[in-house]
Amino acid sequence: AQQQALRQRFAEQDQRFRDGWLLGPQLGHEFTKLQGLFGYLPAEQRPTALAVLRQLTPSQLTQLTLVAQRTPPQDRDRVRAEFLGVAPAARDSWLRENVGH
């Protein structure tokens, strides 16, 4: 009964909210905050973006949500491309530099 109630509550949520949770608990929890940068990707970019997002530590993911929320719409494609092109070892530095913008 409890599981059925939870499923019903989930089904009543906005479609974008439900889609975010299909990405798993870590990304699903933050997806609404990442929506601006990663919600509307061209199909060919999705596998790369998901792979990178799944590699992030919780701290990196939190910083990326700040970058996503502070990035103006006209800069989103550029910022996303920059982030996806950053080597894993350089992500912390990139995030620190870009979180304040």
- pLDDT, tens digit only, all 101 positions of the chain: 888 887 777 666 665 555 555 566 566 667 888 888 888 888 888 899 989 999 999 999 999 999 999 999 999 999 999 999 999 999 999 999 999 75
Q: Domain ranges in the chain?
A: 2-98
Q: Tally helices (H) and strands (E) across the chain.
A: 7, 0
Distance CA 81, CA 76 (A): 8
Q: Which residues of 1-14 are buried (b: 16+ CB within 10 A; e: fewer)?
A: eeeeeeeeeeeeee
**Would you state the pLDDT for residue 46?**
86
